[in-house]
Amino acid sequence: MRVLVSDNLAESGIERLQNVPELEVEVNTSLTHEELLQIIKEYDALVIRSGTKVTADIIEAAVNLKVIARAGIGLDNVDIAAASKHGVVVMNTPEGNVITTAEHTIAMLLAVSRNIPQASASLKAGKWEKKRFRGKEVFNKVLGIIGVGRIGRIVADRAKALRMHVIGYDPYISSEVIDKLGIEGVSLDDVFARSDYITVHTPITQETRNIINAEAFKKMKKGVFVLNCARGGIFDEKALYDAIQSGIVAGAALDVFTQEPPVDNPLLSLEQVVVTPHLGASTDEAQENVAMAVADQVIDYLLGGTIRNAVNAPNIDGAVLARLRPYLTLSEKLGSLLMQITRGAIEEVSIEYIGEVTSHETQPLTISILKGMLSPILGDMVNFVNVPIHVKERNIRVTEATRSEAEDFTNLINVYVKTSEEENLVAGTIFGKRDARLVRINDFRLEANMEGHLVLIYNIDTPGTIGAIGTCLGRHQINISMMDVGQVLERGQNIIFLRTDTPVPQHVVDELLAMENVNVVQVLEL
C-alpha cells in the first residue's frame, strides 16, 4: 500500500511509516494542486498538515484513497463531506499540541505585559530605553478566558500559578463544572467588564466569528490586554485596531489572523501589538507528538482496519461501518442540527431508537449524535474517539431507549436535549437505503434534507408570509433550492425549513425578523 506525505512532517513520523514493510512511503512537500490531482489516484493514504488543500476534486480523483490523516487539529483544508461521501476516513491528532498552545498563550501574555519583543528590538538597535518599555505585573490581575475547553483549562492552571484570578465563560459548559475547575464561571459581559487580560480558546464557528467586536471592546476596562492564540477570525481585526488607537486596549498578543500570512494588516504597524506567525503548536515536542501519532493511526488503519481519532467514522470494524454509515450520517446531522437551534450548556440528552435501526448496534450511533452536538461547540477538537471524554467533562447525562415496533416510519431516531436555557427535540429517518431525512422539530412535522446552507424560520401561519420571505431572499439574490413547511394548526404556527445556494448573511436575517409575522430566524450549516 502506498502512502503520500505532502506536508512537512517530523522525521520520526516518516521513519515510523517507512519501517513498515507493507507500506511504500513517498514524501513530496512541493506538489501543486494540479500535480496532486494527477497522482493522488496512486495512493491509499494521504498524510498532511495545514498546507495541502484536499478539495472535492482531489477526493474525486483519489480512487484508491482510504484515509486522509492530519498531523495536528485543524481540518479547514479538507472537504470532509466529500471524503465521507467517497468512504474516505479523515483523522486528526487533537491532543498533540494542547499543552504547547497553552504555554504559548502564557508566553504571549508575559511578552505583551512587559514589552519584551519591543524592548529586545530597541536594545539590538543600540538604544537603552528603560522608561519607554515599563510594563505591567500579572500578579493579582484578572484573566478572563473565553472557551473553557482543554486548552483554556491548562491556561487557567498556569495563570493561577502566576497568582492571577481566573474567570471563565463557556456557554456550553455549566457554571457548576467551571467552578469545580477553580475558575469563576461568569457571563460573557462579565469577562469583558472585569478582566485585565482576555484570552480566547474557542474554535472558529458561526457563533464565535468576530465575537470580540466593536461592541465588545466598548464593554471592556480601559487598559485591557487581549490575546488570541486560537483561530483567526474570532477577533474583528479592524475593531481591535480602533480599540488600541482609542486607548481601550493597552496591548494585544496575536498568534493567528483572519488572513494568513497577514498582508497589509494595520495591526502589524502598532507598537502595542505583539505577534507571532501561528506558532501555537510549533514546538519540537508537539511536532514529534503529532507526527508519531498520525503515523501510528495510518499504520493501524491500513494494516488492521482500526480507526482512531477519525472525525467522520467511529472506531468500529469496516464491515459494520459499511452497514451503519447511513444511520451514522443521519445521527451526526441530527445532533448538529439540534445544537445549532438550541442555546445553553447541555445538561441532558435522551435518544430513542425505533424500528429497523434497533437491529444494529446503537452505541456508535449515540457517539455520532453526541459528536454532532459537540462539533458546533468544539470544532475540530472533537472526534469519535474523544466524544465520551468531552461528555464526561461537561457532566452531560445521556440516556438511550429502544423500541422495535415502528409506527409512522420503518426506522426513526428521536433526540431530545435539555440545556441550561431550553429544551428541544428532533427526529430523523432513513428513506430507501441511505437518504437521511429530518421529520420532526419539536411539535412540527416535516420532511427535509439536512445538507448545505439552511435556514429555520418560525412564523405565524398567515397568508402571504411565505411569499414575503421568498421575495426578501430573492431581492438579495439568494436562491431557495429547497423548502419544507411544518404546521401546528391549533396554534396557528409554521416552521419553514429552507436550503439556499449561498449562506444567508446577518443583514438579511435582520430583515426577515423585521417582518410582522416572523418570530425566529436561525441560520444553520450541515
The answer to whether the CB of 200 falls within 8 A of the CB of 227 is: yes
Closest CA to 430 of 454, 455, 406: 406
- Of 70, 153, 231, 437, the active-site residue reads 231
Our answer to whether residue 397 is catalytic in this structure is no
Neighbours of 414 (CB within 10 A): 18
For cell 493579582, name the residue: 140
The rounded distance, in Å, linking the Cα atoms of 401 and 366 is 11
Q: Are 474 and 500 in contact (CB under 8 A)?
A: no
CA 386 to chain CA centroid, Å, is: 14
Per the CB < 8 A criterion, the answer to whether 28 and 3 are in contact is no
Cis peptide before 388 (omega within 30 of 0): no
Instruction: Kindly name the residue from 26, 137, 215, 260 that is annotated as catalytic.
Output: 260
Residue 260 three-state SS: coil
Supply the DSSP symbol for 148: -
**Contact by Cβ (8 Å): 19, 298:** no
Determine the Cα angle at 285 with ends 229 and 25, to 5°.
110
Residue 32 has a CB neighbour count (10 Å cut-off) of 8
Nearest to 76 by CA among 211, 205, 202, 237: 205
What values do phi and psi take at 19, rounded to 5?
-80, -5
The one catalytic residue among 49, 70, 278, 437: 278
The Cα angle at residue 307 between residues 303 and 310, in degrees rounded to 5: 135
103 is catalytic: no
Task: Report the half-sphere exposure of 349 (CA within 13 A, side-chain side).
Answer: 27
* Distance separating alpha carbons of residues 492 and 205, to the nearest angstrom: 34
Contact between 213 and 196 under an 8 Å Cβ cutoff? The reply is no
Cβ-contact 203, 381 below 8 angstroms: yes
CA distance linking residue 370 with residue 415, whole number of Å: 10
Q: Catalytic positions, please?
A: 231, 260, 278
